[in-house]
Amino acid sequence: MTDIYGSTRKKLADKLTELGEKPSRADIIFPALYGELIDDLSVLPLKKESLDTACGNFSLRLPECTDVLTSDGADKFLFRLSDGNTVESVLMKHGFGYNVCVSTQVGCNMGCAFCASGRLKKIRDLTVSEMVGQVLMIRRSLGERINGISIMGIGEPLENLANVLDFIDIMMYPKGFDIGIKHITLSTCGLVPKIYELADSASPVNLAISLHAPDDTLRRRIMPITGKYPLADVIGAARYYSDKNNRRVTFEYVMLDGINDSDKCAEKLSSLLGGLNCYVNIIRYNPSEGSPFRCSPHERIMTFYDILKKHGIGVTMRRELGASVGAACGQLRANGIDKLTNL
């Protein structure tokens, strides 16, 4: 059986051809799956033989939602996958609509010192179907259109780029989720060759790069990936991305008390980014249990912000949604697993 949620429209058409069916049936099946949200292939408007072929060859397996935590503006969903692994997704309600933040791997191997996801090492990449499944399950429970997707849950999406590109293709299908490329954002810790690959792909979505430090020495301390891809190369890749796609790149900068929040860091960051078509998204650190890091005090964050502004760098501050339910990166899954192992 082929997992139908794992196929782009093109791959489904190819599979139908292989099964002796007209590839154009994909244009009946795709709107039914992602527009009408059918959960049973036997209701498709197809002739008996085609229905038998579809039902006999395609499965509609979705992850099982095992927990939902609700707070002001953000609901956190925990999903159990078919092999028993768990991942999480967050539904954020903004004034202008709904955004779903999806996970791309079970665990993460990037080892960022401040991040809860890294406490659980990567077990495997998620399949296309498991990523589509997160959005589809949330879309069904919500009963309303989803306006945007953030590919910044657990995992490093650029390590799983081929699957992520198919996932994006399905999210953009016009008679389904119909999410525009400008409403999809992918966040990476900076896998340089893959940034070039995404820039040259058919779906150059909004790119966010987790920077978190203005020089290699400090960044290596909190983000080990810096040892492999130094900042100069990351900035080079970001420049290529924005030039090629005429798009502003976002740099995420999480405020860690006494670590990366000094005036000097702000000055260095301004010179690093000067002249680049970008802006900095300042993020309040959301400490998870056992984390040695704290969020910088409000006044420090404001001073940091002002220095960047003074140098003409675009700056925004991420609205903090869902901190009370541990909606920051890997916390629900990590807590859920701690609970289980403590039993």
Residue selected from 115, 199, 234, 265 as contacting ligand SAH according to rule CB under 6 A? 115
From 44-52, 279-287, 305-313, 333-341, span contacting ligand SAH (CB under 6 A): 279-287
* Residue 245 phi, psi dihedral angles, 5° rounding: -110, 5
Q: Tell me whether residue 295 is one of the annotated catalytic residues.
A: no
Residue selected from 21, 156, 169, 261 as contacting ligand SAH according to rule CB under 6 A? 156
Residues 61-80, interacting with ligand SAH (CB under 6 A): none
Least separation in angstroms between CB 327 and ligand SAH: 9
Between the alpha carbon of residue 52 and those of residues 16, 19, 303, 327, the distances in Å are 12, 11, 65, 43
328 binds ligand SAH (CB under 6 A): yes
Least separation in angstroms between CB 276 and ligand SAH: 18
Spatial strand order in the sheet of 74-80: 64-71, 74-80, 86-94, 97-101, 148-151, 184-188, 206-210, 249-255, 278-284, 314-317
Q: What is d(CA 104, CA 122) in angstroms, rounded to the nearest whole number? A: 10
* Residue 248 phi, psi dihedral angles, 5° rounding: -75, 130
From 31-39, 112-120, 127-135, 266-274, span contacting ligand SAH (CB under 6 A): 112-120
Angle between the N-to-C axes of helices 192-199 and 231-245, in degrees from 0 to 180, rounded to the nearest 10: 0
Residue selected from 54, 288, 305, 308 as contacting ligand SAH according to rule CB under 6 A? 288
Between the alpha carbon of residue 147 and those of residues 9, 160, 176, 198, the distances in Å are 20, 23, 12, 22
Nearer residue to ligand SAH within complex by CB, 3 or 156: 156
261 binds ligand SAH (CB under 6 A): no
Query: Token pair of 20, please?
Result: 């002796």
- CA 311 to centroid of chain Cα atoms: 30
* Residue 144 phi, psi dihedral angles, 5° rounding: -135, 160
Residues 164-223, interacting with ligand SAH (CB under 6 A): 187-189, 210
One of 108, 278, 295, 329 is an active-site residue; which one? 329
260 binds ligand SAH (CB under 6 A): no
Residue selected from 329, 332, 333, 334 as contacting ligand SAH according to rule CB under 6 A? 329
30 binds ligand SAH (CB under 6 A): no
Nearer residue to ligand SAH within complex by CB, 129 or 331: 331
How many Cβ atoms are within 10 Å of 311's Cβ, its own excluded?
15
Between the alpha carbon of residue 331 and those of residues 109, 128, 217, 268, the distances in Å are 16, 23, 27, 31
Q: Look-up: residue for tokens 């960047």?
A: 308
Nearer residue to ligand SAH within complex by CB, 4 or 327: 327
Contacts (Cβ under 8 Å, ≥6 apart) of 86 = 66, 78, 79, 80, 106, 333, 336, 337
Residues 300-319, interacting with ligand SAH (CB under 6 A): none
Nearer residue to ligand SAH within complex by CB, 148 or 176: 148
254 binds ligand SAH (CB under 6 A): yes
Q: Tell me whether residue 329 is one of the annotated catalytic residues.
A: yes
Q: What is d(CA 52, CA 252) in angstroms, rounded to the nearest whole number? A: 50
Nearer residue to ligand SAH within complex by CB, 50 or 86: 86
Residue selected from 7, 252, 269, 334 as contacting ligand SAH according to rule CB under 6 A? 252
Q: Which among 82, 29, 89, 99 has a CA at the least distance from the CA of 58?
A: 29
Catalytic residues: 88, 329
Kindly list the residues in this chain that would bind ligand SAH in the complex (CB under 6 A).
110, 112, 114-116, 152, 156, 187-189, 210, 252, 254, 283, 285-286, 288, 328-329
